[in-house]
Structure 1
Amino acid sequence: MPGDSQPSADVTHAEFRHGAASPQSRYRHALRAPALDEPAPVQGVGQGRSDGRSQPRRSDHDPEGAINLKKQGRLVGPGLKPVKSQMFYFVDSNSSSREKRAHVMRHHVQEKRKQRKHCKHGAETEHPIRPLRCLPWQQKQFGLDAVDSEDVGPEQVQADLDDESLASSGPSSLSPPSHPSKIPHLESPLTMLDASRKDPFRSLPMESSPENAVLVDYWTNRLTYWSGQNKYIKDQIFRSAMCHPLAFQAVILSYCSRWRSHLHHLEDGDHVHNHHRQVVTGIDKVMNGSLPMDADHLGMTLSGLALQEERFGDRQASRGYEDQAVQMLRSRGGSSKIHEVILHFVRYLLMPSESSISPEGQQWLGTFLRGAEQLMSAQSSDAYLTSVPQRRAAFGMDSPLFPLLSSGPHPTQVPLDSRVYVVQGVPTQEVMRTAALIYITAALWDFQDHPGKTARFLDHIQKAAKSHSLDRTPACETFTWLLLEESYEADLKDPERGWSTGELLKVHKQLRPDLQFHFNEILFSFLALTPPIRGIDAFESELCASSGPDDLDDV
């Protein structure tokens, strides 16, 4: 480690996580909380008749003998069992191939009948199925549903097989029921009018309209970041917003209506104002108790308003919505839920209103880097790497985390004709990369005395990146979302980690772009267990110089 990067003193846990005077401390007070039948044995040959009767013999001059011999399998005399129930069939030099096949297929069809009757009886008992509709010309009973005493010959067997193959290969709507059902006919849940709608099953939490269908399409298929569509994030937010009409209107419809106008360089029309007015009116009704809504969905609604005001409206109003959402969700505590993840994600994307860094913020940035340096020194030892072998290569070039956390370059994979839908003017990829670096460093700091936890955490985040193909299509937005979800074991979770990451990220956004890059490079070098090219002392000296009176215009 270069001489200018040696820590002057050990970093305490409180200083590392929250700084000397944590900017997040203002949130800690004055927050208000709101059994099948056995099959018959396989048929064989060689067993004689059980009644002791001898088969008739023909004379050498009997011209009808051949025909009678072929028909004798169907003859049923007094006291004889029907040939249909005969378990075995005599095979001799006079047996025809056709009769052999008929015997085998006859019993095959019988077993099929038994199995179908039993299965359908059980299915109707547990899950009654309404009778399927069929055409009039198909109302006849198929051969497989005939009575057991019916005689089955080769021709009938072939007809049964043809009917069976027709029933199995044709459309299910044309197949009649195997046996009559006692369940009354249930009407389809769709009407002819429903079938012509974009949302025929009324899955959306509000009445669908052509305008709303367009806005939903903008969210699901068009909204894109430079790193890609990040469909996992959009799907998670969409599902959560569907739980309440007001949340859906604020997070999906209102946002996309304003984004569409901004995308096409249009003034906000009546549809934009209508969505926004209805959302604001709905929030007022929730606050005065006239509209029922839990704190989680209200916090998500406020988060959606904060993001759209930040990008398309009033930034001062955005800060107000953000503060209200924090009051709703921060005081609740507990493990992270989807609504809290949405709030974290929105707060990470918002730009701070302050243009200069306070002395406390500068000290916190330096303290965090010193703590990361201590962590690298401890985890670089042979003893530690023996106990946690995956720590050595977790952030190396062959790791799935390397393309996500390294400085780049990060070319887009968005098709050229779809880049018009990329969110402009917001460095989402770099912001989320910084958030991921801070979050992972904070987690490793928490687990520094528990090698087993460190190993499980590293295994989890690498597996998560691979499962979402982030090693092939790097999207820092999705990776940071996965970190915030905390989908690992309970002993690895810490709800405070997401909040402290957001507060330090807010200070980081106030740096000049070159200092932001320098901070990220130092942090990633420590994660990769390699000394940085330009150390902490160089960063701190440049940081102090940037805060001087001559450089205020550059901040």
Structure 2
Amino acid sequence: MSSTNKEPATEIYPALNQTYCSLCNQISLRTSRLDPFGTLPMELTDESQQLADCWTTKLAYWSGQNNHMKIAAFRQAMLSPMTFYVTILTYCARFRAHASGLKETPQSIQYTSTAERSLLRYIQAASDPYDENIVMAFAALSLQEERYGSKERAAEHMNQAMVRLRPRAADYPFQNVFVHYVRYTMSPCGVVRDAVEASQLSSFLRIAQSAAQDYHFIYQAPLRRTAFQFSTPLHLLLSSGPHPSPVPKEERKWVVNCGAVHDLCRVASLIYITSSILDYRLSPHKCNLFLEELLLKISQHNLDRWASTESLLWMLLEDPSNVDLKDPRRAWVVGDIMGIVQRLPAQLKYQFSELLLRFLMLRPPDLEISLDKFEVALWQHVNSQLVVDCHDIEISSSEKERGLSSNRARLIVT
């Protein structure tokens, strides 16, 4: 059970009015509402109401509103006044500043400061350091810093969320989705210069290629043959585009990061689906079930009409309805691979994703893109980084030697 922060809400949430404060303890009783977008379970100030409305009606990706994701986050945030303030209100305060062309505004500064203090007080009062609300709040702050603040702080917040989630992932289904979604869509940091990481990518692609050539398995899993072919919903979702936006031009100032998040979600979805199929390679039946459920979700959420890789990735991370398809390790493994891919140069990243799509489509290699060509380019990149590192070490050593020589000379003169 999650612990409850006992401090007066007026001290923690100065932007909320007294009516909201009197309802803080009733939130858990009011969150059974199937559609939180109808009416909020609490009364807010005019300012806070505008921020909540921003989440429900304005916030969008290039692919559209993605209501399934927004509703899931909104409903979970309502379980605690702290998470609602941090996840919904503070995010929208910072988002509105960004949409206005500003890095921050007095409103976004106030909400960010209050959110951080609120989380700290909640942690201090909590009996469980792995509380689900703490995990969600750290992930929410990581997302905000990643998009509208400091990349370094985003990484710190994400680390806090992951450390708390890892031992409780099976108990926190929403947090498991939210944390990994944020993790997959974070900007790359550094470059791939490690031979071990390069080998990991090569091995993953080699296994995927081998699975695509296992015709006996493919014959036993009919959907594996057809699900990713040209013009199918999955092909339209996973192909590199272009993808038109359903968001009206006059509303596009509310679009988050335009194409950047879309492309990260597309690559992560390719890795996740490939990893899932590889996990089921000893069971054509499970592979077929996985694809059946995925196609059903795509249809239910109209992704066959409005292609959204953001919603696709979110649904992949959600627990499957069939218990036999669950694998709590998969999201972590996919995140590790995604962390390497994000640091590749753009051309190598494109080749990696195209190879995965071709393997899913069961297409043979061609003169344009092949695994052999990718591996040659990958190792050239890694080796070039090693040369740069060695050069930097030599320069550093030379500078250190010059510094020592200079110190000796000063000692002699003295």
| CA-CA distance at 1:398 after TM superposition | 4.4
Matched residue, 2:378: 543
Whole-angstrom distance in 2 between the partners of 1:407 and 1:433? 8
Aligned AA for 1:439? Y
Contact 1:335 1:495 in 2 (8 A): no
Q: 1:426 to 1:355 in 2, by over 3 A?
A: farther
1:241 to 64, 68, 77: 77
Q: What amino acid maps onto 1:275 in structure 2?
A: Y
Q: Who is 1:387 aligned against? A: 220
**Pairs aligned (count):** 352
Q: Which structure's residues are more often helix, by fraction?
A: 2
1:221-245 alpha-carbon deviations (Å, 9 max, x no partner)? 1111111111111111111111111
Distance (whole Å) between structure 1 residues aligned to residue 134 and residue 66 of structure 2: 24
- Residue equivalent to 2:131: 295
Partner of 2:23: none
> Aligned partner of 2:229: which letter?
G
Q: Matches of 1:447 and 1:216 in 2, distance apart?
A: 42
Q: 1:457 to 1:495 in 2, by over 3 A?
A: same
Aligned positions of 1:69-80 closer than 5 A? none
Instruction: Report Cα offsets for 1:341-392 as digits up to 9, x if no partner.
Output: 11111111111322344222111111110010111111xx2x4344222221
Which whole-Å CA distance do the structure 1 matches of 2:130 and 2:197 have between them? 35
Return the letter of the residue paired with 1:389: P
2:363 corresponding residue in structure 1: 530
Q: How far is the alpha carbon of 1:293 from its aligned partner?
A: 8.6
**1:402 aligned residue (235, 249, 252):** 235
- Give the aligned partner of residue 326 of structure 1: 162
1:321 match: secondary structure: helix
- For 1:249-398, list aligned pairs within 5 A: 249-266=85-102, 268-289=104-125, 295-334=131-170, 337-378=173-214, 381=215, 383-398=216-231
Deviation at 1:552, TM superposition (A): 6.7
Q: Deviations over 1:104-143 (max 9, x none)?
A: xxxxxxxxxxxxxxxxxxxxxxxxxxxxxxxxxxxxxxxx
Structure 1 counterpart of 2:64, one-letter code: G
User: d(CA) in 1 for partners of 2:137 and 2:80?
Assistant: 9
Whether the aligned pair in 2 keeps the contact of 1:336 and 1:484 (CA below 8 Å) is: no
Q: Does 1:470 align with 2:273?
A: no
Residue identity in the other structure for 1:543: L
What is the aligned partner in structure 1 of residue 14 from structure 2? none
TM-score (ref. length: structure 2): 0.80
Alignment partner, residue 203 of structure 1: 41
Report SS of the residue matched to 2:125.
coil
- The aligned counterpart of 2:327 is 494
Residue pair 1:286, 1:293 contacting (<8 A) in 2 also: no
Query: Any conservation in 2 of the 1:335–1:493 contact (CA below 8 Å)?
Result: no
Conserved? CA contact 1:230–1:478, under 8 Å: yes
Question: Deviation at 1:291?
Answer: 8.6
Q: Where does residue 519 of structure 1 map in the other structure? A: 352
In 1, the alpha carbon distance for the partners of 2:387 and 2:307 equals 35
Does the aligned pair in 2 maintain the 1:218–1:256 contact within 8 Å? yes
The question of whether the paired residues in 2 share the 8 Å contact of 1:441 and 1:527 is answered with yes
- Please give the alpha-carbon distance, in whole angstroms, between the structure 2 residues aligned to 1:200 and 1:223: 16
Are 1:261 and 1:268, in contact at CA under 8 Å, matched by a contact in 2? yes
Instruction: Give the CA deviation at 1:335.
Output: 6.3
Distance 1:426 1:285, change over 3 A: farther
- Residue 253 of structure 2 corresponds to residue 427 of structure 1: no
Displacement of 1:270 after TM fit?
3.2
CA distance in 1, matches of 2:103, 2:261: 25
Q: Check the 8 A contact 1:306/1:319 in 2, yes or no.
A: yes
Q: Which amino acid aligns with 1:284?
A: L
- 2:316 aligns with 483
2:284 aligned partner, one-letter code: P
The aligned counterpart of 1:141 is none
Does 331-340 or 441-450 show the bigger shift? 331-340
Q: Deviations over 1:26-67 (max 9, x none)?
A: xxxxxxxx9xxxxxxxxxxxxxxxxxxxxxxxxxxxxxxxxx
Instruction: Give secondary structure in 2 for the equivalent of 1:427.
Output: helix
Alpha-carbon contact 2:219-2:225 (below 8 Å) kept: no
Shift of 1:283: 1.9
Superposed CA offset, 1:269-306 (max 9, x none) = 33222222222112222222269896111100000100
What is the Cα deviation at residue 451 of structure 1?
1.3
| RMSD (Å), alpha carbons | 2.5
Residue matched to 1:169? none
Structure 1 segments of 4+ aligned residues over 4 angstroms from their partners: 199-202, 290-294, 549-553
Unmatched segments (≥5 aa) in structure 2? 4-36, 390-414
Instruction: Summarize the Cα distance change of 1:550–1:487 in structure 2 as closer, same or farther, 3 Å threshold.
Output: closer
> Structure 1 residues 357 and 295 mapped into 2: Cα distance closer, same or farther (>3 Å)?
farther
- 2:66 aligned to which of 218, 227, 230: 230
Distance in 1 (CA, whole Å) between partners of 2:199 and 2:128 is 45
CA displacement at 1:487 relative to structure 2 = 2.5
CA pair 237-201 structure 1, distance change in 2 beyond 3 A: closer
After alignment, is 354-363 or 543-552 more displaced? 543-552
Distance apart, 1:445 and its partner CA = 0.8
* CA apart distance, 1:200: 11
Distance in 2 (CA, whole Å) between partners of 1:376 and 1:526 is 6
Q: Is the 8 A contact 1:521 1:532 kept in 2?
A: no
